[in-house]
């Protein structure tokens, strides 16, 4: 019988390869691309003290249309590289690699061009309206990003690309918007999405994250989205011990390392998670609302505070 961990590792390798395939295909548009989603979170949180392994089956790229060239057309470049539109998803901007790995191309809604309220495709002429998807919540990645080197995870694949990767504050904003949208439809809730927020918060000193968020609140392109995310963060994570997404984040680690553990003991593990790790998550979320103290009163929260279990 195959090892589930090995299969998950292969999936991560394949999704990274698909990301590199897309970067190859869109080389002429490299300056407009920003890596977002789980791949960006993992690149930014190497060594985070969490029990849940890195795992994603897809890749996501944000496109800054202000830097996007007219040629080659996005749809032509992607198809030439072996990608095809994911017709089954019904979503513009959804692509499938030759290996069957999903990849999404998304444009922050504020920059996605004029359209009617029901349109999902980004209107960035002369590129096809189905090549990219408009998405609210990504506006902050246009501001909060810097260049990182991304390498293949398969030893035989020697590719390395330098490309902009969204910063953790922008990734937190985007993830919170995604969770808030899905919270209204329980069947769309995914425990791992909530755990990604926990991964960001436990890896990063709250003071550093809060400073970046405050800076984003002064950027016209993303101020409204960031303000919304702070309100949503409080509702989803910081409102008491039974906050919805805090419970989902805890559930994501149930039985990790002990898949045969009886159900009642897995529940005990989740309860422990709620009493310790999630206390830090809720405290971090609450601190995001606090005004910046005078410089002589500022206290830096050390990483080891977050890592106590």
Q: Each residue of 210-246: pLDDT tens digit? A: 889 989 999 999 999 999 988 887 777 655 555 544 4
Q: Contact at 8 Å (CB) between 258 and 309?
A: no
- Which pLDDT does position 171 carry in this prediction? 96
Q: Contact at 8 Å (CB) between 113 and 68?
A: no
Nearest-angstrom CA–CA distance, 90 and 194: 25
Q: N- to C-terminal Cα distance for the chain?
A: 34
- Which pLDDT does position 282 carry in this prediction? 52
- Which pLDDT does position 55 carry in this prediction? 64
DSSP notation for 71-87: SS-HHHHHHHTT-EE-G
pLDDT band at 299 (very low <50, low <70, confident <90, very high): very low
Helix or strand run (H / E) with residue 61:
strand 59-63
Average pLDDT, the chain: 77
* pLDDT of residue 139 exceeding 70: yes
CB atoms within 10 A of CB 209: 21
Average pLDDT estimate for 264-277: 39
DSSP notation for 98-125: TTS-EEEEEEEGGGS----TT--B---T
**Better-predicted residue by pLDDT, 239 or 30:** 30
Strand partners, 127: none
pLDDT band at 179 (very low <50, low <70, confident <90, very high): confident
**Better-predicted residue by pLDDT, 19 or 294:** 19
- Which pLDDT does position 115 carry in this prediction? 76
Q: Contact at 8 Å (CB) between 121 and 106?
A: no
Average pLDDT estimate for 115-122: 82
pTM over 0.85: no
């Amino acid at each position: 019988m195959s090892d589930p961990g090995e299969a998950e590792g292969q999936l991560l390798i394949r999704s990274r390869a698909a990301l590199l395939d897309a970067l190859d295909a869109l080389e002429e548009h490299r300056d407009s691309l920003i890596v977002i989603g789980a791949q960006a979170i993992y690149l930014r949180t190497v060594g985070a003290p969490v029990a849940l392994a890195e795992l994603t089956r897809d890749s996501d790229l944000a496109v800054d249309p202000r830097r996007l060239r007219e040629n080659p057309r996005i749809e032509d470049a992607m198809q030439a590289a072996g990608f095809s539109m994911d017709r089954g998803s019904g979503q513009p901007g959804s692509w499938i690699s030759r290996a069957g790995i999903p990849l999404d191309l998304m444009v922050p809604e504020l920059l996605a061009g004029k359209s009617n309220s029901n349109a999902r495709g980004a209107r960035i002429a002369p590129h096809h309206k189905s090549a990219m998807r408009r998405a609210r919540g990504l506006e902050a990645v246009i501001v909060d990003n810097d260049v990182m080197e991304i390498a293949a995870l398969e030893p035989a694949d020697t590719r390395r690309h330098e490309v902009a990767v969204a910063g953790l504050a922008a990734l937190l904003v985007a993830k919170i918007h995604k969770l808030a949208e899905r919270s209204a439809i329980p069947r769309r809730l995914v425990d791992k999405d909530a755990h990604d927020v926990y991964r960001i918060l436990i890896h990063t000193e709250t003071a550093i994250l809060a400073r970046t968020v405050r800076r984003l609140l002064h950027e016209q392109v993303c101020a409204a989205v960031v303000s919304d995310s702070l309100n949503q963060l409080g509702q989803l994570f910081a409102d008491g011990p039974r906050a919805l997404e805090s419970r989902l984040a805890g559930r994501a680690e149930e039985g990790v390392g002990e898949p045969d553990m009886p159900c009642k003991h897995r529940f005990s593990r989740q309860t422990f998670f709620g009493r310790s790790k999630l206390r830090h998550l809720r405290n971090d979320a609450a601190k995001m609302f606090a005004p910046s103290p005078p410089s002589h009163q500022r206290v830096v929260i050390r990483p080891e505070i977050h890592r106590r279990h």
